[in-house]
Amino acid sequence: MIQFEKYPSAVIDSVEPPAFSDLVRWRLKVKHGAQTWHYLQSEEELRQWPPTRWEKYFLDLPFNDGGWGIHTQGISTVFGTALNYVVLRTLGLSADHRALIKARAKLHQLGGAAAIPA
C-alpha cells in the first residue's frame, strides 16, 4: 500500500502504482470524513464495487459535447470543464485520451480557461 506522507488520507490501494490508469476502475471511499481513491485490480472487485454517480460524474460523464458543468443538470461551462480537465490530468490521465481531447475542443470553443468568470 502506498501512503503519501504529506497527505495521510491519500492512499492508493495497491502495492505498485498501476502502469495504466483505467478510469472505470477508480472508486471513491469516504470513511469518517476522509476521502480516498482506490484502484480496483481485478474483474471480481469491479463486480463487487460498482461505480456510484460520483465516480461516474468525475471520471466517466462529461457531457456529449466533451465538457463538464457545475452540476449534473447544467450545461457545459468553462469553469466545470477546465476544473475537471486539470483534475483528470493530475490523476494521470494522458492528454491524448479521447475524453480530454473532446474537453480541450470544448474549452477552445468556450474561449479557453482564461474565459472563466472571475
- Residue 97 confidence (pLDDT) above 60: yes
- Residue 26 confidence (pLDDT) above 90: no
Query: How many angstroms separate the CA atoms of 49 and 30, rounded?
Result: 14
pTM: 0.53
